[in-house]
A = this chain, B = another copy of it.
């Protein structure tokens, strides 16, 4: 999508360590009208699979999941990080954060995922796939059907996306970055 590439190029900042900072519109400040345009792309692609639940992980995925769930008129669910005293029985998994260099438990209350659910997973980024794989594992434990994974920005130079496709996951990344350079600020997108 040319317009999305332009937004990422104009408003994103490339930091050392292959970090793309898009917190001015995607995951800290939220350009909600832009995010809504993004969810329309997912909606058009995934609607034939008739998901009845959108699943994501806190916190960056929540705005996207909310706007997509609004299009599907279905609930969104976000996996919670860490320990929560007021949760009931949960499905859990572990996410490894490379920026924080530690694993974190994520959980979904068993009430909100079941074998009758047809789930669409969404998130802002896909790099090594740790968060997506943790959500897939939670869905497996809940016995629900996952119809696909929607990602805004996939880092194509890391292997998360490749492994998911090889495993047969219906992955739809709106933009795949082949390379980026913090010195020149240049981003090369996969065609």
Residues of A within 8 A of B (CB): 15, 19, 21, 23-25, 28-33, 35-36, 58-59, 62-63, 65-67, 69-70, 73-78, 80, 85-87, 99-100, 108-109, 111-112
Contact = CB atoms under 8 A, between A and B. Distances in A.
A62 to B, nearest CB: 4
A28 B15 CA distance: 32
A78 B32 contact: no
Nearest to A74: B32
A108 B73 CA distance: 31
B69 A109 contact: no
24 contacts: A23-B87, A28-B77, A28-B108, A29-B75, A29-B77, A29-B109, A30-B75, A30-B77, A32-B70, A32-B74, A32-B75, A32-B76, A33-B70, A33-B73, A35-B66, A58-B59, A58-B62, A59-B80, A62-B63, A62-B66, A63-B63, A63-B66, A67-B70, A85-B99
Contacts of A87: 23, 28
Contact of A19 (B35, B86, B109): B86
Contacts of A99: 85-86
A43 to B, nearest CB: 13
B76 A24 contact: no
Contacts of A73: 32-33
Across chains A and B, which 7 residue pairs bring their CB atoms closest together, nearest first? A58-B59, A62-B62, A63-B66, A32-B69, A29-B112, A30-B76, A59-B59
Nearest to A77: B29
Contact of A85 (B69, B100, B109, B111): B100
